[in-house]
Amino acid sequence: MRIGIPDDGGPLVPATPTTTARLVGLGYDVSVATGAGAGAGFPDTAYEAAGAVVVPDGEAWSADVVAITRAPDVLAASGPAGLRPGARGPDGLRIGAVLIAQIAPAARPDLVRALANRGVTAFALDAVPRISRAQSLDVLSALSNVAGYRAVVEAAAEFGGMFSGQVTAAGTTPPANVFVIGAGVAGLAAIGAAGSLGAQVRAFDVRPEVAEQIESMGATVVRADDAAQQVSADGYASALTTDQEAAALRAYAVETAAADIVVTTALVRGTAPTTITAEMVANMRPGSVIVDLAAPGGGNCELTVPGERVVSANGVVVLGYTDLPDRMPRHTSELLGTAVANLVQLGTPNRDGRLALDPDDVVVRGMTVAARGEVLWPPPPVAVSAPASPVRPASAVEPAETAPGSRQARPTGAGSRQAHPATRAVLLGLGAVLAALAVAASPADQVAHLTVLALAVVVGFYVISHVSHALHTPLMSQTNAISGIILVGGMLQIGSSDPVVTTLAVLASAVASINIFGGFLVTHRMLGMFRRGAPTDGSGR
């Protein structure tokens, strides 16, 4: 089969020379339109070196599989006769072709219908199910990451000062104050970018479970308990109640008045709620900057004009750009190309150059918006693969109350579980008695050692149980040092004349050695995940 990469007129391209080489390695013939990668800095010669053939744009559109960044604008009147030329792409898409693109199927039903009428099998890169197995195809998260980073770059270009504080012979300058609303993918990227430039970053999100993520990025969490939602089941924020919205707006008013840079990212199912009112903008310092990442959904700021730069009456710059990922075409194209290559690889298990995506696969089904002349959007909801709760047979269910004079029903299910705490308490009490007898029977010089051991166990349990999961790896490194002390002590006692001491010393040395080498091995593997140049897309990059 032949994969075509047309020139859809924008700076992005859904295949880089690196991902093109992956597609060729899967057995496909790849045709790249002349100049398709020029906007992202990829010359035609780089594609030819990767094994592709550079062809005229119309020939790329006529391939068996066509990959573009965004689906072409198709008129609602387009029917079986074919796709009409629009703002993007010609009508060269052949009947029965496979289209891979960002389609926005929920907002463009006419386009989806036109694709179905044409007999095109269309896969929407922006409709990937939000499940772990589909993360390598999740274009929306990738583009949100780029947009969050670029938002800070745009703010830095507009802001009349430096993000980091400076100490000079002539005096000092304070760091910029950055306030980020929303700690999703874009928000966290903005937090990281602003923090790396030296700014003091504060962030707010109505979802309480993301507070730890904000702190892990080095930012300060802004708390407004009255605006907090319940822990979300799907990781997304929902619409606020009237009281929650009022509490959130009060927090926004305080934070924006003190901020130099404000980045807003709040979107609720594609709709942008108002988080920055005109009154808040009026209270901000002249020269402050607002970057509204929710501009495609209408904007979080009342002064936002999607796609435009606006300056308020008091000199606050409001950026409503909707093309932030396009402003970093090289890396955005690399992310798009990787997602396309991952999708094609998913449908080519035999590496034979034939695309055979399984329609029953939950990931494939979620992305398929049209196939076999039918509109397949929206997809069925993704079933959560969680083990079902065990259900007792009806015959085993006992009445809640027994008749007078009848024998008491034996405890089952929850009743048997209620006995566990009592059993645990008895065992703990028995263990304490045995420990006390052991101490009483020990020589006087051993009592102090046993006391230190008992206290170390108790203190160690409470310390480790209260350590954040993010600190488990450095904590493991500290336990390696402790194990090293045990190893040295055990080796010194191996030559003892007492066989019991020698046996214990050998066991202690063996266990400590396993912990040391195992701990360093795990730490090495985890640090390798963050090393620059580590493979991330399966292509060796």
Instruction: Give, rounded to a whole angstrom, the gap between the first and last alpha carbons of the chain.
Output: 26
- Say if residue 408's pLDDT is above 70: no
| Helices marked H in 328-383 | 329-346, 362-367
> Tell me, what's the pLDDT at 534?
47
Q: Who wins on pLDDT, 480 or 349? A: 349
- Tell me the β-bridge partners of 5: 32
pLDDT, tens digit (0-9, with 9 covering 90-100), for 240-260: 888 999 999 999 999 999 999
Exposure string of 431-468, with b = 16+ CB inside 10 Å and e = fewer, is eeeeeeeeeeeeeeeeeeeeeeeeeeeeeeeeeeeeee
> Is 327 an active-site residue?
no
Going by their DSSP bridges, the two strands 200-204 and 220-221 should be labelled as parallel
For the beta carbon of residue 81, count every other beta carbon within 10 angstroms: 10
pLDDT, mean of residues 301-312: 97
- Tell me if 343 sits within 8 A of 23, measured CB to CB: no
What does the block give as tokens for 491? 């080796």
When computed from its CA atoms, the radius of gyration of the chain, rounded to whole angstroms, is 31
Exposure string of 300-328, with b = 16+ CB inside 10 Å and e = fewer, is bbebbeeeeebebeeebbbbbbbebbbeb
Percent pLDDT > 90 in the chain is: 54
pLDDT, tens digit (0-9, with 9 covering 90-100), for 328-352: 999 999 999 999 999 999 999 999 9
- Say if residue 353's pLDDT is above 70: yes
Chain CA centroid to CA 216, Å = 14
Going by their DSSP bridges, the two strands 171-173 and 166-168 should be labelled as antiparallel
> Is 138 an active-site residue?
yes
Exposed, middle or buried: residue 25 (CB in 10 Å: 0-12, 13-18, 19+)? Answer: middle
Where is average pLDDT lowest: 71-75, 193-197, 301-305, 335-339? 71-75
- Say if residue 211's pLDDT is above 60: yes
- CATH (one of 3.40.47.10, 3.30.70.2190, 3.40.50.300, 3.40.50.720) for 2-127+347-375: 3.40.50.720
Max avg pLDDT among 299-303, 391-395, 442-446: 299-303
- Tell me if 512 sits within 8 A of 487, measured CB to CB: yes
> Tell me, what's the pLDDT at 402?
40
- Tell me if 303 sits within 8 A of 311, measured CB to CB: no
Residue 469 three-state SS? helix
Residue 7 three-state SS? coil
pLDDT, mean of residues 498-527: 82
Chain CA centroid to CA 304, Å = 27
CA distance 340 to 13: 11
Q: Which of 135, 442, 446, 468 is catalytic?
A: 135
Q: Which of 7, 8, 57, 138 is catalytic?
A: 138
Residue 231 pLDDT level (bands cut at 50, 70, 90): low
For the beta carbon of residue 119, count every other beta carbon within 10 angstroms: 17
Q: Which of 62, 141, 216, 539 is catalytic?
A: 141
The full DSSP string for 115-137 is HHHHT-EEEEGGG--SSGGGGGG
> Tell me, what's the pLDDT at 394?
41
- Say if residue 396's pLDDT is above 90: no
Half-sphere exposure of 502 (CA within 13 A, CB side): 6
Residue type, 462: Y
- Say if residue 473's pLDDT is above 80: no
Residue 520 pLDDT level (bands cut at 50, 70, 90): confident
Contacts of 323 (CB under 8 A, 6+ apart): 307
What does the block give as tokens for 112? 């989806």
CA distance 87 to 84: 10
- Say if residue 4's pLDDT is above 90: yes
Query: What's the angle, vertex CA 38, arms to CA 294 and CA 139, rounded to 5?
Result: 35
CA distance 101 to 47: 20
- Say if residue 80's pLDDT is above 60: no
pLDDT, tens digit (0-9, with 9 covering 90-100), for 417-454: 444 567 877 877 887 788 777 777 777 777 777 777 77
Q: Which of 196, 253, 474 is nearest to 188 (CA)?
A: 196
* Segment (H or E) for 179: strand 177-181
Q: Which of 2, 84, 94, 130 is catalytic?
A: 130
Q: Who wins on pLDDT, 169 or 432? A: 169
Q: Which of 166, 223, 226, 236 is catalytic?
A: 236
> Is 236 an active-site residue?
yes
- Say if residue 264's pLDDT is above 60: yes
Contacts of 409 (CB under 8 A, 6+ apart): 398, 399, 402
Exposed, middle or buried: residue 69 (CB in 10 Å: 0-12, 13-18, 19+)? Answer: buried
- Tell me if 173 sits within 8 A of 166, measured CB to CB: yes
What does the block give as tokens for 451? 């006391």
Percent pLDDT > 70 in the chain is: 82
What does the block give as tokens for 507? 């066991």
Whole-model pTM? 0.69
Q: For the chain, which residues make up each domain, given as ranges?
A: 2-127+347-375, 143-166+174-326, 438-528
pLDDT, mean of residues 93-122: 90
For the beta carbon of residue 483, count every other beta carbon within 10 angstroms: 20
CA-based diameter of the chain, in Å? 98
Residue 309 three-state SS? strand
CA distance 508 to 488: 10
What does the block give as tokens for 278? 């005109």
- Tell me if 30 sits within 8 A of 3, measured CB to CB: yes
Where is average pLDDT lowest: 65-79, 151-165, 217-231, 388-402? 388-402
Max avg pLDDT among 143-152, 238-247, 262-271, 395-404: 143-152
Mean pLDDT of all residues belonging to the chain: 84
Residue 493 three-state SS? helix
Q: Which superfamily does 143-166+174-326 belong to? A: NAD(P)-binding Rossmann-like Domain (3.40.50.720)
Residue 6 pLDDT level (bands cut at 50, 70, 90): very high
- Tell me if 519 sits within 8 A of 480, measured CB to CB: yes
Exposed, middle or buried: residue 76 (CB in 10 Å: 0-12, 13-18, 19+)? Answer: exposed
Same CATH topology for 2-127+347-375 and 143-166+174-326?
yes
